[in-house]
Structure 1
Amino acid sequence: MTIIELRPLDSESVTSDGRAAACTVTLCRGCCCGTDKHPDADHEGQLRQLLDGLGTRARVRTTGCLDSCDYSNVFIVQPSVRGRAMGGRPSWLRQVLTPELTEAVISWVKAGGPGVAEPPAVLRNHQLAPARKRRTAAGG
């Protein structure tokens, strides 16, 4: 899996040992997500909206297929250092296809993200178990 970092973090968003102190938002851009599977979605516009909305306050990156093609577009919001200390875990989101949902992700990350702030109500129906958990639950 190739991960492409799209914008460096500002100095306030990095710990003294170089780890990301801020949230990280990863967008799947593999075989189904971010492609013409959803011709009505503006995938480049979505990425620009996310980058512009978060600036250097969060890490934004893209990756290849996350093995969740039935749920595209998939985002993963990883907690900040503070969020992890408060019990936050990575949150997988499915079918993030509209500017409104992308804005909800931006708002959540700006509020602190997993472990710090509850996700906006509009994202609750978009939560998804990570691929490995779905495979395990299915007996695979």
Structure 2
Amino acid sequence: MNRSVLRATGQRPCTLVVCRGCCCGNPAKHPGTDHAWQLDRLRTGAAASGGRFAVRTTDCLGPCGQANVIVVQPSTAGRRAGARAVWVGFAMDDDCTDDLLRWAAAGGPGVAEPPVALELQFIPPPREARARARR
């Protein structure tokens, strides 16, 4: 989905933000994972979804000890339903990738329930984790 369509409709799809910073996506740190294949698979899924979800990459998101990290941002409809971004850690295997693709295609946070196995990989955003540590 291009930006002009987003501006015209005012609707943003669910977005998978894939960390590819210092640890996430690093074959030297996680040699058993084909990081390029995973990212290609996510992008192919987004392209095939007809605009139901998007994929973008970013530099380091912070929780390096839980790499690979993917943030699932809610769509406009999900935000209207009260959803917030969901952080997923240790997102390196095929099952996790499958679950992310299914959930994003179904609408993501606030629109569709996440797969139960994927919920086990939810991690607190870095700011929340720091706040809990101070208590």
Verify same fold: TM over 0.5: yes
Higher percent of residues as helix: 2
CA contact (8 A) 1:20 1:59 kept: no
2:81 alignment partner AA: M
Match of 2:38 in 1: 46
CA contact (8 A) 1:23 1:59 kept: yes
- In the superposition, relative to structure 1, how do residues 20 and 44 fare at CA in structure 2: closer, same or farther (>3 Å)? farther
What is the root-mean-square deviation of aligned Cα atoms in Å? 2.0
Q: TM-score, normalised by structure 2?
A: 0.89
Mapped to 2, the partners of 1:22 and 1:59 lie a distance apart of 7
Match of 1:96 in 2: 91
Structure 2 residue runs of 5 or longer lacking an equivalent are none
Identity %: 40
Mapped to 2, the partners of 1:41 and 1:80 lie a distance apart of 29
- In the superposition, relative to structure 1, how do residues 35 and 68 fare at CA in structure 2: closer, same or farther (>3 Å)? same
Structure 1 residue runs of 5 or longer lacking an equivalent are 1-8
1:26 alignment partner AA: V
Deviation per residue, 1:41-69 (Å, 9 max, x gap): 00000001101112152221111111100
Match of 1:33 in 2: 24
Mapped to 2, the partners of 1:12 and 1:86 lie a distance apart of 24
